[in-house]
């Protein structure tokens, strides 16, 4: 019954989405408020029904109803409850259902909190959201229905892929989807603006909070995924330039550019056409990401079972939306009036440079992701584009960007004074150079570029600090005044500083981890001691344990430094009998921002075991950086100016103010 | 500055960044791309020693030998040809004899493939897609590869459970 209800709810959601796709547009054409308001109720009802459908699938998984194919293939009655729930989106069908649920959630949020939007804009936005939703409901119902029954139900399920049986699955995909799908809102706003042929600074003010929200989730989602790969795959790697990772990085790069260009549009009413284009591109890249992951055209840890019809279906959706939106853009963009003059050296100029570098970096990643696919299809040979390619292309572009980051927020709007800003950034520059010198003296081995990169990271952090110091008048003014000014500073200024500093922090972590990472790989016998980066790691013993749906072999290591015992680390190797496969559970010991990392290999006949021990200096900074960025985003989001629903226009106006 | 000059500055700047990116990409394409080969392709094309590539195929059953200090040798086969592979380190969880594998490295002077990475990537069917495609193309694809994990499951064969 539950499965059928879930299926039925999904069909109803599709019907609602189809109504929402058409009726509000007719309403907008006829200027009929009642018809336009249909969008609001259908969006909320859609959320309700998709939500019900999603809850139904969760219940099926929790109850281990193996008469449903999806549950049979991905669950097991012995699986812990948490993984029964997270297993819902640990497979293709469930993950697509999560995708549309989040899409409906965003649509519902616009419907519920978009009261300050002009009525026809809201009608258009929700209609466009419904187009996307209809396409994906159809996709699920036609090619990937999670509610299909099996004629003769098996007694036991096939269990979830062991690698996915981890808390990471509970957090990473929902976060990532909140980001990916969140960009659909800026897309819908862009299409609505093109359809209405009207766009102004207010538009940017409405779009920015949504974009920012999506960006925060995407940032956290990517960071979380990277940390998950780091501790779960047992190789200590945190970024593989895998096409699926690139698929999430590209919308992030484009979305970051969009955040910044929307700022110019909001403040100075310039870069309108560009901002619209970026909104379209960002969501197109999210769709491309969905296509790459869901169609099975690429090999990766994320590739679920593949089925060609799905690939073709998503490709159709992709072509329809990207092609359609770009054609609309090409047709309408010229009619949007340009505004806001600025000198090349100015805050706007800096933001243009930011956009330029971000989009070009994004294009490079896109090229690296699609080139092997294209070559395989056209020239019929296989190749891979990995880290060496991106180190030679992406890294220099990003280094340029980081070099420019501290200058941006300190330049004035319209016309800036580059020399003056350089003088004010002197302290940050000196801090950077000192860091280079220290890193140079301290470091043994590694690339000569590494100290320079660390200097760059320190410069970026220093720049963010300088900006706040300047704005609050710290050093110059009495302390009480400084406090007062700090409180009076717009939250978005703090947000900028935190987000930019986060970039520097992440860069330092990345450089330290890749350059001064030490590793020890060997077979160890009982009581044998490994020496690594000043730590003594002694193998105390091996023992077996029975988990809920696996057996595990645990190795106990005693970690000491200078004769003083610090901790016991217990990496393990789990064997999942249902799937006949095993996973490596690494053990981590955190010391400050550095980590000791132990993962196990195979045990030999003599009772020795292959062991991989890494010391990763400052590795945690890699993820603290994005957390800082996201925190900056949250601060910015809480800024009064941007609060969703805050800037209420004067009541009296019966119709919207015309666009300039 | 006139409006036109301002616009030209921005366009010029954009073109400069684009040119830079294009230069970087072309430069990187020259030597940072790794090609994929099967043992048959290696035998036919006479790949020069020292040239890095990815080797994919099936691990020949019975060929895995463990030496001292984590050194391992095994053979990668694709039905027509075999290629000996030497690797030092820990093999990934999903490495099995008779299953697909992708290794990255280069041939040495004796024609042994020295791998520095044996890929841990895998999908649910335990068959790297590159390998599956190559095998299909050469007509050595057996449909039961896909059924295999399920079959193992049914027998409850604890393959790799006590390793």
**What is residue A307's predicted lDDT score, i.e. its pLDDT?**
63
Q: Are the beta carbons of A235 and B9 separated by less than 8 Å? A: no
Q: Which residues contact A657 (CB under 8 A, 6 or more apart)?
A: A200, A202, A649
Q: Which residues contact A394 (CB under 8 A, 6 or more apart)?
A: A361, A364, A365, A368
Q: Which residues contact A31 (CB under 8 A, 6 or more apart)?
A: A120
**What is residue A644's predicted lDDT score, i.e. its pLDDT?**
47
Q: Are the beta carbons of B128 and A299 separated by less than 8 Å? A: yes
Supply the Cα-derived Rg of chain A in whole angstroms.
27
- A191: tokens are 């299409």
ipTM of the complex: 0.80
Q: Are the beta carbons of A523 and B13 separated by less than 8 Å? A: no
pLDDT at B160 over 90: no
**What is residue A385's predicted lDDT score, i.e. its pLDDT?**
85
Select the residue of A233, A364, A578 nearest B25 (Cβ to Cβ).
Answer: A364
- A193: tokens are 């603006």
Question: If pLDDT is split at 50, 70 and 90, which confidence band does B130 have?
Answer: low
Question: If pLDDT is split at 50, 70 and 90, which confidence band does A655 have?
Answer: very low
Q: How far is A373 from chain B (nearest CA, A)?
A: 12
**What is residue B152's predicted lDDT score, i.e. its pLDDT?**
32
Query: Which chain B residues contact residue A612 at CB under 8 A?
Result: 89-90
Q: How far is A611 from chain B (nearest CA, A)?
A: 8
Q: Name the nearest CA neighbour of A632 among A161, A292, A51, A216.
A: A216
- B153: tokens are 């499951």
Q: Is A444 left (phi over 0), alpha (psi -120 to 50) or beta?
A: beta
Residue A594 DSSP SS3: strand
Q: How far is B15 from chain A (nearest CA, A)?
A: 10
Burial class (CB in 10 A: 0-12, 13-18, 19+), A308: exposed
CB-based contact, B62 to chain A, within 8 Å: no
Query: Which chain A residues contact residue B130 at CB under 8 A?
Result: 299, 382
Average pLDDT over residues A161-183: 90
Provide the CB-side half-sphere exposure for A249 (13 A, CA).
21
pLDDT at B126 over 70: no
Which of A231-235, A335-339, A523-527, A593-597 is the most confident on average?
A: A593-597
pLDDT at A30 over 50: yes
Select the residue of B25, B93, B129 nearest A584 (Cβ to Cβ).
Answer: B93
**What is residue A394's predicted lDDT score, i.e. its pLDDT?**
95
Average pLDDT over residues A102-113: 94
For chain B, give the percent of residues with pLDDT over 70.
72
**What is residue A636's predicted lDDT score, i.e. its pLDDT?**
92
**What is residue A619's predicted lDDT score, i.e. its pLDDT?**
95
Average pLDDT over residues B23-40: 85
**What is residue A586's predicted lDDT score, i.e. its pLDDT?**
92
CB-based contact, B157 to chain A, within 8 Å: yes
**What is residue A646's predicted lDDT score, i.e. its pLDDT?**
45
Judged by average pLDDT, the poorest of A61-65, A90-94, A101-105, A641-645 is: A641-645
Q: Which residues contact A196 (CB under 8 A, 6 or more apart)?
A: A120, A121, A124
CB-based contact, B69 to chain A, within 8 Å: yes
Average pLDDT over residues A239-262: 92
Model confidence over A477-519: pLDDT tens digits? 888 888 888 888 889 999 999 999 999 999 999 999 999 989 8
For A373, nearest residue in chain B (alpha carbons): B130
**What is residue A479's predicted lDDT score, i.e. its pLDDT?**
87
Query: Which chain A residues contact residue B128 at CB under 8 A?
Result: 299
Question: If pLDDT is split at 50, 70 and 90, which confidence band does B127 have?
Answer: low
Q: Are the beta carbons of B94 and A581 separated by less than 8 Å? A: yes
pLDDT at B141 over 60: no
Which of A13-27, A202-216, A592-606 is the most confident on average?
A: A13-27
pLDDT at A368 over 60: yes
Query: Which chain A residues contact residue B123 at CB under 8 A?
Result: 299-301, 303-305
| Burial per residue of A625-654, b for 16 or more beta-carbon CB atoms within 10 angstroms, e otherwise | bbbbbbbbbbbbbebeebebeeeeeeeeee
- A13: tokens are 């959601």
Average pLDDT over residues A251-274: 91
Query: Which chain A residues contact residue B33 at CB under 8 A?
Result: 383-385, 389
| Whole-number average pLDDT of chain B | 74
pLDDT at A151 over 80: yes
Q: Are the beta carbons of B1 and A386 separated by less than 8 Å? A: no
Which letter does DSSP use for residue A197 in this model? Answer: T
- Enclosing H/E stretch for B96: none
CB-based contact, B162 to chain A, within 8 Å: yes
Q: Apex CA A479: angle with CA A477 and CA A482, to 5°?
A: 70
Residue A279 DSSP SS3: helix
Judged by average pLDDT, the poorest of A12-21, A229-238, B109-118 is: A229-238
Model confidence over A326-353: pLDDT tens digits? 999 998 887 776 666 788 888 998 999 9
Q: Are the beta carbons of A388 and B133 separated by less than 8 Å? A: no
**What is residue B148's predicted lDDT score, i.e. its pLDDT?**
36
Q: Which residues contact A395 (CB under 8 A, 6 or more apart)?
A: none
CB A325, CB A187: distance < 8 Å: yes
Query: Which chain A residues contact residue B126 at CB under 8 A?
Result: 581
pLDDT at A209 over 80: yes
Query: Which chain A residues contact residue B122 at CB under 8 A?
Result: 301
Average pLDDT over residues B128-138: 62
Please spell the DSSP secondary structure of A452-502, one letter per residue.
HHHHHHHHHHHHHHHHHHHHHTTTTS-HHHHHHHHHHS-HHHHHHHHHHHH
pLDDT at A434 over 90: yes
Rounded CA gap, A649 and A639, in Å? 17
Q: Are the beta carbons of A381 and B35 separated by less than 8 Å? A: yes
Binding residues of B for heme: 122, 126
Supply the Cα-derived Rg of chain B in whole angstroms.
22
* Global confidence as pTM: 0.89
pLDDT at A240 over 90: no
Q: Are the beta carbons of B25 and A367 separated by less than 8 Å? A: yes
Instruction: Go through chain B and tell me how many residues it has.
Output: 163
CB-based contact, B137 to chain A, within 8 Å: no
**What is residue A645's predicted lDDT score, i.e. its pLDDT?**
46
Query: Which chain B residues contact residue A573 at CB under 8 A?
Result: 93, 163
Question: If pLDDT is split at 50, 70 and 90, which confidence band does B1 have?
Answer: low
Question: If pLDDT is split at 50, 70 and 90, which confidence band does A23 have?
Answer: very high
Tokens 């690139």 belong to residue: A246
Q: Which residues contact A51 (CB under 8 A, 6 or more apart)?
A: A101, A104
Average pLDDT over residues A257-268: 91
Q: Could you give the domains of chain B? A: 35-152 (2.40.50.140)
Segments in A31-76 forming alpha helices (H): 33-62, 69-74
**What is residue B154's predicted lDDT score, i.e. its pLDDT?**
32
Four-CA torsion A11, A132, A223, A211, nearest 10 degrees: -130
pLDDT at B161 over 50: no
Question: If pLDDT is split at 50, 70 and 90, which confidence band does A308 have?
Answer: low
Tokens 């957390």 belong to residue: A627
Question: If pLDDT is split at 50, 70 and 90, which confidence band does B90 have?
Answer: confident
Q: Name A48's bridge partners.
A: none
């Amino acid at each position: 019954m539950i499965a059928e209800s879930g299926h039925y709810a999904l069909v109803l959601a599709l019907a609602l989405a189809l109504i929402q796709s058409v009726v509000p547009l007719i309403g907008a054409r006829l200027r009929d408020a009642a018809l336009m308001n249909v969008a609001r109720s259908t969006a909320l009802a859609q959320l309700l029904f998709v939500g019900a459908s999603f809850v139904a699938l969760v219940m099926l998984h929790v109850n281990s109803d193996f008469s449903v194919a999806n549950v049979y293939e991905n669950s097991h009655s012995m699986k812990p409850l948490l993984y029964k729930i997270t297993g819902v989106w640990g497979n293709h069908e469930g993950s697509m259902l999560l995708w549309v649920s989040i899409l409906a959630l965003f649509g519902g949020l616009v419907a519920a909190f978009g009261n300050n939007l002009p009525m026809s804009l809201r009608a258009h936005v929700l209609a466009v959201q419904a187009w996307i939703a209809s396409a994906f409901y159809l996709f699920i119902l036609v090619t990937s229905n999670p509610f299909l029954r099996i004629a003769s139900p098996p007694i036991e399920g096939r269990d979830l892929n062991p690698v996915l049986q981890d808390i990471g699955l509970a957090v990473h995909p929902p976060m990532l989807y909140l980001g990916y799908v969140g960009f659909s809102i800026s897309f819908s706003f862009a299409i609505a603006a093109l359809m209405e042929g009207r766009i102004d600074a207010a538009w940017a003010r409405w779009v920015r909070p949504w974009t920012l929200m999506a960006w925060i989730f995407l940032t956290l989602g990517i960071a979380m995924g990277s940390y998950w790969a780091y501790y779960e795959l047992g190789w200590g790697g945190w970024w593989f330039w895998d096409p699926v990772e690139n698929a999430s990085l590209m919308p992030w790069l484009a979305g970051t550019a969009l955040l910044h260009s929307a700022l110019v549009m909001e403040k100075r009413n310039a870069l309108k056409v560009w901002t619209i284009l970026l909104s379209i591109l960002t969501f197109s890249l999210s769709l491309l990401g969905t296509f790459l992951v869901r169609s099975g055209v690429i090999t990766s840890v994320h590739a679920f079972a593949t089925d060609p019809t799905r690939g073709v279906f998503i490709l159709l959706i992709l072509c329809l939306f990207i092609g359609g939106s770009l054609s609309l853009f090409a047709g309408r963009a010229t009619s949007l009036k340009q505004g806001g003059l600025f000198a090349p050296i100015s805050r706007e100029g800096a933001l243009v440079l930011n956009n330029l570098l971000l989009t070009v970096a994004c294009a490079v990643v896109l090229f690296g992701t699609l080139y092997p696919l294209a070559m395989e299809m056209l020239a019929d040979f296989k190749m891979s584009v990995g880290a060496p390619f991106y180190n030679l292309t992406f890294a220099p572009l990003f280094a340029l960007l980081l070099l420019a980051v501290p200058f941006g927020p300190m330049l004035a709007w319209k016309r800036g004074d580059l020399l003056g800003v350089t003088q004010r950034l002197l302290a940050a520059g000196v801090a950077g150079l000192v860091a280079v010198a220290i890193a140079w003296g301290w470091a043994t081995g590694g690339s000569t570029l590494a100290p320079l990169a660390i200097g760059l990271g320190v410069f970026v952090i220093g720049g963010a600090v300088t900006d706040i110091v300047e704005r609050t008048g710290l050093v110059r003014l009495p302390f009480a005044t400084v406090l007062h000014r700090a409180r009076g500073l717009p939250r978005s200024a703090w947000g900028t500083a935190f987000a930019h500093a986060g970039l520097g922090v992440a860069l330092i972590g990345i450089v330290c981890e890749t350059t001064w990472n030490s590793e020890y790989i060997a077979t160890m016998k009982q009581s044998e001691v490994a020496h690594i980066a000043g730590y003594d790691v002694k193998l105390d013993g091996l023992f077996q344990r029975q988990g809920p749906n696996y057996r595990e072999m645990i190795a106990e290591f005693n970690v000491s430094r200078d004769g003083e015992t610090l901790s016991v680390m217990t990496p393990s190797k789990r064997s999942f009998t249902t799937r006949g496969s095993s996973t490596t559970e690494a053990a981590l010991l955190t010391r400050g921002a550095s980590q000791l990392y132990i993962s196990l290999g195979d045990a030999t006949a003599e009772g020795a075991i292959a062991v991989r021990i890494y010391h990763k200096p400052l590795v945690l900074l890699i993820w603290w950086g994005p957390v800082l960025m996201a925190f900056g985003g949250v601060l910015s989001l809480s800024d009064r100016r941007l609060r969703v629903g805050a800037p209420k226009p004067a009541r009296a106006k019966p119709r919207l103010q015309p666009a300039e | 500055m006139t409006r036109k000059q301002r616009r030209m500055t921005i366009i010029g700047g954009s073109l400069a960044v684009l040119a830079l990116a294009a230069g970087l990409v072309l430069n990187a394409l020259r030597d940072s791309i790794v090609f994929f080969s099967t043992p048959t392709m290696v035998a036919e094309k006479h790949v020069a020693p020292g040239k890095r590539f990815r080797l994919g195929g099936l691990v020949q059953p019975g060929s895995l030998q463990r030496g001292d200090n984590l050194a391992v040798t095994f053979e990668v086969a694709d039905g027509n040809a075999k290629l000996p592979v030497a690797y030092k380190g820990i093999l990934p969880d999903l490495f099995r004899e008779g299953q697909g594998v992708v290794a990255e490295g280069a041939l040495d002077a004796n024609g042994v493939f020295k791998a520095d990475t044996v890929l841990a990537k895998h999908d649910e069917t335990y068959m790297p897609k590159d390998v599956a495609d190559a095998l299909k193309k050469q007509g050595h694809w057996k449909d039961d590869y896909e059924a295999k994990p399920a079959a193992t499951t049914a027998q409850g064969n604890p393959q790799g459970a006590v390793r």
